[in-house]
Structure formats: C-alpha cells, structure tokens
Amino acid sequence: MNIARPQSPHVVSIAEMPLGRGMAHAINTFKTTGGFRRLGLRVTLICQPPENTENPAGALIDEWLDAYGERGLGVITTTAGRGLREREASIAFAAEGVRIARDIGADLLYARNFQCGLLGPRAGIPTVMETHAHVGDPRPLLDEVFAATRAATHPLDAIVTIAPALRDHYIARGADPARVHLVPDAADPELFRRPDEFRADPRARPVALYSGHLYDYKGIPTILRAAERSPRIDWKLLGGLPEDIARVREAAAGLANVEVLGAVPHALVPRHLWNADVLLLPPSNAHISAPWTSPVKLAEYLNARRPIAASSIEGLRNWVAEPAIAWFAPDDHDSLASCVETLLRESMDARLARDASQRSLAARFTYANRARAILAAAGITLSANSHAA
C-alpha cells in the first residue's frame, strides 16, 4: 500500500447491528472494536441502538457495554435504514455511518457491512471490511465487494476473514490476493483468563460444559447422546436463543444429568467455564461450515484453562492441536463420552503440558492482537510503545 497511514489512527468501527445483541458475530465485532482501544488508539463505534428503544439513554448504553466488558468505549448510535427492505436498509445505514465517520475525522474504517466496504473507500477513508460469508454464497454484492479490492481508484484496502477456506474462496471469486487477510477469532483475557487462585464450586459429580448457541450443527444432539451414555457426569449447556433453549430442554427432558442453563450476558460466561471440569466444543462435520468455523468460544475456552474435548474438524484443526485440546470423532457420541472420561482422569504431566499449550495459544488469540492484525492489513504498523491495556 503506497498511501501514508497515521501511526496512531482514529479507528471507527461501523456495525449494522444493535448494541446488546448476544450473537457471536456481534460479540466478535464489538470486542474487536475494544481491541483497538486496548492498543491505546482513539476508537468510535457506530452501530444501531439497543433493540426495543429508539433513543437509548447513556446509562442503557453503559449497561450493554458492561455486558460485553467494554465500559468506556465511545459509541454513536443511528437508526438510519430502519423500516426499509434489507438492501435499502443496509445502504442507508452504511451511508449514514460513513458520513458520521468522515465528520468525526476517521483515519480508518473497520466495517462489518458490505455497503460500508464499498462506500468507505469512495468517501476517501481507508477501509478494512470483515466478512465470514460462506463458500458458495451466491449474493452478487459479494462479488462487487471482491472487485472493489481491484478498483483503479479508491480500492477497498483489505478484507479480513477467519479461515483459509474462506480466504481462498474470496480470491477465487476475484478479490486481490494481496488484500485478503486471515485473522483468527479471539477472546478477552481480562474477562476469560482463569485466575490462578480460583477454586471451583464444590460438587459431588464432574461437570462437562458447553457454551454457545444450541443449533443442532453445533453438536447438541451429540452432547445429549453422550450424556445418556455417561450418566455419572453432569452435562450442562449454557447459551442459546429462547426457542432453542425450549427445544433442547424438551429433548433432554428424560436425562437427569443434563441441565440447560439458558443464556447469560457475555461478561458472566467466564465463571461458568472456570467451574467446569471439561469444556465441550463439538461442531458437526456434516455442516457446510465445518471447513471454516472459527468459534469465538475456542479462544474463550483456552483462556479458561480447563480440559477441552473438541470434534476433529478442519475448521478447528486450522488453529489448535493437542495437547491444548483433546480430539474426538465428529458426530460420534461414544467418542465424545470417551474423550470426556479420559480428560477427567488427566495425569499431572498431561495437565501441565495442556496448561502450557493453552496459555501459549490464549496469549495469541486476544482482541488486542486481532486489532493489531487488522491495522497491519491496512498498512498501519503501530509504534513499539503501543500497548494492549
């Protein structure tokens, strides 16, 4: 990139999503925005206001920022585009977001909106757009974004994504290979790092915990069948949308050793992880996302420093290996149950090796490092005294 970049830019994150949303893509976006702030940069988040309110008070914004562990992040909300059809809504939101970003002196846009990826560069603002659009996504807008990386004037500076399969697909569809960058998901060690002095709550039986959405392709049926096979282990599921919580509770009704805990704010998840004896990461190999899934919970689990039973799929093998995790055969409840039982008998030597490997990976997968990689994709290298708070 030949354009000069400021050493300490004002980064503006534009996210077409309401503050307070608990979906993984929202957590990833808002926490990545916080990662720029941890590097000591001036940061502003432009997003939609919390749902069910048009004019949120500052106290409500602070409440949601606390739920993400991001108190102090500068936020500007806009309802531009609400009530319009999807495409028109996205264009209106992006246009307003880019206008605000220009007015407040943005040096770099971090965009989670395809239209921002097109409009930001045209407004003269260096722009990095993140997308996890799946292989085979037929939307013409994607091809327009990929072509924007090759524009003769004001090209899209960079696209970042989370898996080699996605990067390769975007390049195959026309994106400039030099402008497509691989940036893994991350966790906030300030929230998720397990304190050395932490002591789990007393209990009579070991606990295997899953944290995340309760869709079948996340491996929930495999967990329920493993729980049936291993009745002396308590299996807990944390998270999920209301309709999925109800569905899984019904499916688990005959299993006395399964507890569907429901959803909690992001900032309250860590203690549940620390209290578990084994953490479960069982995505299905039968789902289209298996080659590229990069779940936020993987980095969170690594920070929690508990044994992790993970299905051996390509998307996970991209980022981790034993002994940080223990693999089991995907979609195989017997293999999952056996893996958990083996981890519960972990020897001291195995525990020390796992702990060292998890610490090393957790130090790599932080939102500050993620933000630094996104800056590098835009041609910005921070000075040596930039820090991760």
Confidence of residue 119 (pLDDT cuts 50, 70, 90): very high
Mean pLDDT for 165-187 is 97
DSSP-derived secondary structure letter, 196: T
- Is pLDDT larger for residue 103 or for residue 295? 103
pLDDT for 23 equals 84
Q: Which two tokens stand for residue 369?
A: 């490092």
Chain segment 237-259, per-residue pLDDT in tens: 999 999 999 999 999 999 999 99
The angle formed by the CA atoms of residues 298, 305 and 272, to the nearest 5 degrees, is: 75
Q: In sequence order, which ranges of the chain are alpha helices (DSSP H)?
A: 24-38, 58-68, 86-103, 114-122, 140-148, 164-172, 189-192, 220-229, 242-251, 269-275, 296-304, 314-317, 333-344, 348-364, 367-377
CATH topology for 189-364? Rossmann fold (3.40.50)
Least confident interval from 111-115, 246-250, 351-355, 379-383: 379-383
**Burial letters 184-214, b for 16+ CB under 10 A, else e:** bbbbbbbbbbbeeeeeeeeeeebbbbbbbbb
C-alpha neighbours within 13 Å on the C-beta side of residue 215: 9
Q: Is the predicted pLDDT of residue 371 greater than 50, yes or no?
A: yes
For residues 252 and 233, what is the distance between their CA atoms, to the nearest angstrom?
14
pLDDT for 6 equals 59
Q: Is the predicted pLDDT of residue 384 greater than 60, yes or no?
A: no
Q: Which two tokens stand for residue 216?
A: 């079948």
Coil, helix or strand at residue 111: strand
Coil, helix or strand at residue 20: coil
Confidence of residue 389 (pLDDT cuts 50, 70, 90): very low
| Other C-beta atoms lying within 10 Å of the C-beta of residue 167 | 20
Q: Is the predicted pLDDT of residue 181 greater than 80, yes or no?
A: yes
Chain segment 212-233, per-residue pLDDT in tens: 999 999 999 999 999 999 999 9
Chain segment 315-349, per-residue pLDDT in tens: 999 999 999 999 999 999 999 999 999 999 999 99
pLDDT for 3 equals 44
Which residues make up the CATH 3.40.50.2000 domain(s) of the chain? 10-186+366-377, 189-364
Provide the sign of the torsion angle of the four alpha carbons 171, 174, 175, 176, taken in this order.
positive
Q: Is the predicted pLDDT of residue 295 greater than 90, yes or no?
A: no
Confidence of residue 107 (pLDDT cuts 50, 70, 90): very high
Provide the sign of the torsion angle of the four alpha carbons 24, 364, 292, 137, taken in this order.
positive
CB-based contact 322:361 (threshold 8 Å): no
Domain 10-186+366-377 is found in CATH 3.40.50.2000: yes
pLDDT for 387 equals 59
pLDDT for 324 equals 98
Q: Is the predicted pLDDT of residue 1 greater than 50, yes or no?
A: no
Average pLDDT of the residues of the chain:
93
For residues 88 and 213, what is the distance between their CA atoms, to the nearest angstrom?
29
pLDDT for 381 equals 87
For residues 316 and 335, what is the distance between their CA atoms, to the nearest angstrom?
17
For residues 141 and 143, what is the distance between their CA atoms, to the nearest angstrom?
5
Mean pLDDT for 359-383 is 94
Mean pLDDT for 6-25 is 87
For residues 251 and 228, what is the distance between their CA atoms, to the nearest angstrom?
12
Mean pLDDT for 109-122 is 95
CB-based contact 148:121 (threshold 8 Å): yes
Chain segment 58-99, per-residue pLDDT in tens: 557 888 888 899 988 999 999 999 989 999 999 999 999 999
pLDDT for 385 equals 55
